[in-house]
Structure 1
Amino acid sequence: MGFLKEEKSTWQRRQIVIMKVLYAGDACTKLGPVFIASPFNLEMKGMSHHVWGQPLIDALKSDGNEVTHMTNEQAIADFPRTVEELSQYDVIIISDCECEVLSLYPFWIPGTPLPRTNRLKAIREFTRQGGGLLMIGGWTSFSGRFGHGGYYDTPVEEALPVNCLKGLDDRVETPEGATVRIKKPDHPIVRGIPWEDAPLFEGFNKIIPKDGAEVIATISDGEKEYPLIVTWTFGRGRAMAFASDCSPHWAQYFQPWEHYGQFWCQAIKWLGSNSARTNP
């Protein structure tokens, strides 16, 4: 079950599973404000970074896990390129990080050497050898907006428990709110959480469960149910697809929910339980 750390007090003695997590995506660079004083005078007065997934990072860390987060601009250069490098982690999270971020490299920077490796294949083999893989939905996850997520027919899709829509926009926008229905209430990922009280989601990706995958939960737009949480075992590892988001706008109300952190921590513990780092 991973590295165990014991905490003792007068009132309790419990074991905490420490997972090392690599998280790519869910961030942006904000430019501005921009001032146009004349046709010849345009100035930009600021630049900042915003991590949409910071509440997820905080939740995982508060449970004792170690999280390394990379924005997409960092990931294209620095995301590990081999199974050996990935194996220092127990779980990989990919969320709103389009496929090209991981499949390409900074070829536009003079002197950048060819990597001679394929990160998409490395992620697949990391999972096959016992690692955990989690893809969280969004406009550039799975197939994504106008197909720009781009994970259809890739090695990463091979490791996931779902297929992506081929070249299609897979988003379902539900401004009226979409509800969650738990199919497997005793599964460790969702157990002990009052899902009947869960906030509504404002959208999700259409994903197609593979043969042998387990649909833990569905999401409904009021007319039809779609897969929300899908898991399976891939080789020695475990993979999970979460069709909605962990951050706004789809998870505008889910992110501040009091059980938000519990859900993601339970998911990470389940995903990383067979990792090569802690089970050599």
Structure 2
Amino acid sequence: MDYQVNYIHPKIKISCYTGKLFKTEAAFDEHLLVWLLSGETKIIQADESFVFGAGSTFLIPRHQLATIINYPKDGWPHKAVAMHLSADQLRDFYKKNDIKPKNLLSHKIFTFDNHPLLKSCLASLNPYFELQETFPDNLAKLKITEAIAIIRNIAPDIDGILANFDKPHKIDLAAFMEKNFMFNMPLEKFGYLTGRSLTTFKRDFYHHYQLTPQRWLTQKRLELAHYQLTQKNRKPAEVYLETGFENLSHFSYAFKKKYGYAPKDLYLGMRI
């Protein structure tokens, strides 16, 4: 099997991927702390991209749209330990420690530069992945609390993210969609992130664009793909990964239907 995941607790897991690449579209409901043991991870957001190599530790904040592409590298699989930081445990942490952060932030991917304290904390989880019995819940909470304390010590500004428990509020739908159309999310998720129910999202969307969300999203993604191919001279196999398409064949079919030629023909033509 190309992909394996082992949960020692609902909030702590280790994953291993040996295929060519593994792509997912993310807008996590909880913050995700990741320690990359081997391989490479590319995270693409609307206005910034990140590439993480083996040994990296980073935090992906909740509710942030991103395309995440995981690659094996240098003969090693993509292998990572991930820890979910739930709102309940974070609220409990800040309450017990009487911490009242200011300047709450909505998003920012944090990197921790292979800090020895954090590396030691996450490395201490490795023996537990060999356990046959259930990992005790109280011990898992202690390990998560330890990780929270360490990343706060490393990056004090992170309080602005970890202590922000607000739910998405109603925002400008058009501005949000123009910035985030390339992320292949369910419409329910787009609605939630703009502070709307699915019904209200569809109604407001049609009122603004006079198109259904599905048709508008396909058009915008194809336009972006065409730009990447013609102006950036990128390969179709790279472009579809970052423009919201499920796979290369679906991308090629939709692209040819709109433009009359396949993306590979355009790419080869640019090479001649």
Same structural fold, with TM-score higher than 0.5 when normalized by the shorter chain: no
Please indicate the TM-score interval, normalised by the length of the shorter structure: under 0.3
- Report which of the two has the higher share of helix: 2
The structure with higher relative contact order (CA 8 Å, sep 6+) is 1
Q: TM-score, normalised by structure 2?
A: 0.27
- Report which of the two has the higher share of strand: 1
Higher Rg of the two aligned structures: 2
